[in-house]
Chains A and B, each alone.
Chain A
Amino acid sequence: MSSDETVDLTRRRLLQTGAAVTAAAAIGGCLSSSEEPDPATTPTADEEYAYGNCWMCHHACGQELTVREGTAVDITGVDEHPRGSAGPDTPGTLCPKGQAELEKLYDPDRITEPHIRKDGELEAVDWDEAIEFTAQRLQEFDDEHGAEKMLDATSWSTTNFHEFFWGNLYGTPERIGRGRHVCFGGPHLSGDLMGLGANMRFVDYQHSEYIIAWGRNIFESFAGQWEPKGVLEALDNGATLVVVDPQHTPTAEKADHWLPIEPRTDGALALAMGHVILEEGLYDEDFVENETHGFEAYEEAVADKTPEWAEDITGIDADVIREVAIGFAEAAPAAGIALWTGVGQYGEAQKASQNVFALNGLVGNIDRPGGFRMWQAPPLANPFEVRDIDLPNNAEGTTPALRAYDEYETYPFRHTTGIGHTVVPEMVDNGHLMGIFCHYDNPLTDGSTQAWLEALETMDLVITIDAYWNELTRHADVVFPEAIQLEKDTLINYAPTWSAYHDRRWISGSKAVHEPLGEARPGFEILVDLAEEMGWGEFVPWESEAEYNEDMLANIDYTFEEVAEQNFVLLEEFGYEQWQENGFPTATGKFQFDLDQEEGYAQSAMELGIETGPQWLPPGTWGDEPDDEYPLHFYDTRSVFFSFGADQPLAQLHEQYARKHTLETEDYRGNYLVLNPRDAEPRGIETGDMVTVESPAGSGELMAYVSERTRPGFTTAEFGFGTGNSHEEGMNTMLVHDDQHDPVSSQPDRHLAVEVSANGGDN
């Protein structure tokens, strides 16, 4: 299909035609029979259905599309889908993001041709030239710098093929991911080492009697709609919902207790709750004795952490702390804590999350009905093994720069991970990293943005697979236009674990609704072509993503075709208390309050002078503390309309986001700075004013939304807007971020001290 033909099929084009036809009908009173009916609004036209697995926030809620004459015209959820419903016999839906993937499917702003940098300028070329050019540049890069200086920054590709491409074949040990490196590094590390696993976010909601949403806004920012649906079901069943959050949210609105906590004092609250639970004798003695390690360190850590002590720090009444601690422990094991980025993106978050997760071990809610659930993934196969491919490991003998060079000895996180987001610009300066491959990944949104912008300039080779123009793609040497999920044959192999089915493995897949827009292609095919051009053809026998998916399902009794036909299939059951049989995946084989036996962690702790067990680390130990010059806390938030850079450019979403803030009559469609009237009034700021946010690192401008929703002194803005993002209006919150991070985990610290001022003049 040529790009011209594809453009003609866009929904926008149809929409314009449709509007013209409607106008004619309105004036003339009838529709001439020679006019084609508009498929977008004519249900009698030839109608087909197709499935998708939503890739807007990448949590894969099932999508069902109505397709008329080859054009998708409507989209909705899939009933009983593991991620998009509340489980058996319940309807599937799509949140605003998931619905707007329909708009993305025909978005004329998408990149639809390959581009390469020639004589300093990005130029559209055909695929052959783009692949040939890229292979040549990669070869030159290897010759000049060595493959180990290339960083694989793949985020949301729909297969794991990149790991083999960059690690085994190209031969670089450098890899940066999301969960551990930029999303919730502290809890990711705590969960992993304590025995909960790195996916430490989810409660067995439907069976829970007591849910604590700790720094989580489950009704607005969820990992699949099964989460809010599950919590609503629990509330219907009489469960208690507690929300710990400095800001009022839709989740706080529905809570039995909203604890409007002083920011970054979660660790103190958790220790005090533990103190109460021990004092009241409400802990699970059997579990603690038989299944845990390091309880003595925990007892010692909470001994003097009374609710009165915590009241001074957290601002939460001691009586409320007592009530919540007792309520949680009495409901256990049917009591769970949902925690994600809220206690994940500040400087002391690793230790804070360790204090919170210790409560799970204390009350013995782990992998028991209604508590913390250890979900199981389907047994996906390694397609290289399925095909008996003798894959080399060309990265063998190489060491990530973080561990290879003395320059990085001051970073304690090097003992538990191979890279940190905020240290990359320094590595580029030092000549230790000279190239990057970004596949649906935009480091400019993840912290140290100004340093990263310079690093992109310095790097010798920047390759991106993306759908939109932004400061990353404009700085690249190669821009490959990626087909979106709805245009691909996709098997969701990104953690198909947590879901509305508490006891079933599952898998979800879908086939392309139709050909990709313009010349866009699936990222998998791009990498396969590149591998062939690099001379690795013998290792990559797959013609398509569907074939690769087929091999991934080698251990499962369904073909890709069969999965895609039904959108999802439920697989074998798994029970509770899996630790009875398997133990915990930790150094001691037990749930660990104390991480003294984890060698890397113990080394980091020693260098930092902190305990290996639970410990209270006050805010400002490593993070910013507001002062006279920069008196306000600044933290970013997630609204239900946006996740990463994938959806911000879509009109339906930023329009509803504006309407939610009653600012739709303004031309501005960026993010809003939410601040309390007590902070706004002295600064002469009103809702709708443009304001400047400033820190020692830099500044940015956005529109103010003055609301009692947020705590005095605590300002927030939505993630994913402004310079560096695909929707460039508004402010990239990371423009005011320097290199603050949690030294234990490497997670960028997004909690910053700022000053806000009115810009004045007309908006």
Chain B
Amino acid sequence: MSVHDDHWMFYFDPNRCIGCHACSVSCKQRHNRDADADDWRTVSHVSSGEYPDFREIPISMSCMHCHDAPCEQVCPPDAIIKRDEDGIVTVDRDRCIGCHYCAWACPFGAPTYDEEGLMSKCNLCLGEGPGGGHGQPKRETPEDGGTVPACVDDCVGGAIKAGPKSEIMQEVSEEAAERFEQGAYEGRVIVEPLEEDGELADSIRGGDELSIVDMAR
């Protein structure tokens, strides 16, 4: 299964991520979420080695709106929908029963659950607030009057991008495009390879065995 050209995707460049959490805060504020609520977009700092051979790599993640949306497949009340028109995965909180199956299925740990026990997660700023994406019209690009997703809008290093696959592919390095076409991260997100040598970078280059998700956990 591959991503449709007009389906939205995230792109992440760890070389440009400065680990500042601006994406997490921006997401929280755009969606009017309490500071202590679980983040829809998280930043993890993956460290290894002993001083001074120490490394710490920041990784920003959220729902990746997977082409194969494992969460949608396991959702008993069909509250989760992978939308045909733009590929965004939304949740209808009126249908959600808070069973957490989606959390088990998600490779990125994206679903969060609030005090009501209902699932909420990144809706690519299709709407605002929990469940804000459900039932919204097709997402437009900023050029056509759509919003810039909050995390992209305030990414200080310019490390996060989002857009229809055909547009994102124009902006990525040849190496990242190649790896994506070869099925890196199961085609769910486009990630630039780390420029630096080092154990973690090698692990990422190694591809399937150690995904960024494993690194972040």
Contact = CB atoms under 8 A, between A and B. Distances in A.
A179 B217 CA distance: 41
B5 interface: no
Interface string B22-43: 1011101111101110010011
Given A99-B29, A232-B157, A26 B116 contact: yes
Interface string B123-158: 000011110100000000000000000100111111
Contact of A93 (B50, B52, B116, B153): B153
Interface stretch (A425-433, A562-570, A649-657): A649-657
Contacts of A458: none
Interface of A: prevailing SS: mixed
Contacts of A99: 22, 25-26, 29, 154
Contacts, number: 147
Interface stretch (B11-19, B162-170, B179-187, B207-215): B11-19
Interface in A241-262: 248, 250, 253-254, 258, 260
A96 B20 contact: yes
Most chain A beta-carbon contacts within 10 A, residue among B15, B47, B49, B56: B56
A29 B51 contact: no
B130 A708 contact: no
Contacts of A655: 35-36
B93 interface: yes
A708 B51 contact: yes
Contact of A94 (B39, B127, B129, B154): B154
A74 B25 contact: no
A74 B157 contact: no
B121 to A, nearest CB: 15
Contacts of B54: 248, 708-709
Interface string A220-249: 100001001100100100000000000010
Contacts of A709: 47, 51, 54, 56
B55 A26 contact: no
B58 interface: yes
A100 interface: yes
Nearest to A259: B52
A102 interface: yes
Query: Which 8 A/B pairs are nearest by Cβ-Cβ distance?
Result: A41-B129, A651-B35, A219-B18, A260-B52, A40-B32, A41-B128, A655-B35, A656-B21
18 contacts: A15-B32, A22-B130, A25-B94, A26-B93, A41-B127, A76-B26, A77-B154, A93-B155, A99-B25, A99-B29, A220-B20, A235-B15, A253-B55, A253-B56, A656-B21, A656-B25, A660-B45, A707-B47
Interface of B: 15-16, 18-22, 24-26, 28-32, 34-36, 39, 42-43, 45, 47, 49-52, 54-58, 93-94, 116, 118, 127-130, 132, 150, 153-158, 196
Interface of A: 15, 18, 22-23, 25-26, 29, 38, 40-43, 73-77, 91, 93-96, 99-100, 102-103, 219-220, 225, 228-229, 232, 235, 248, 250, 253-254, 258, 260, 640-641, 651-653, 655-656, 659-660, 676, 707-712
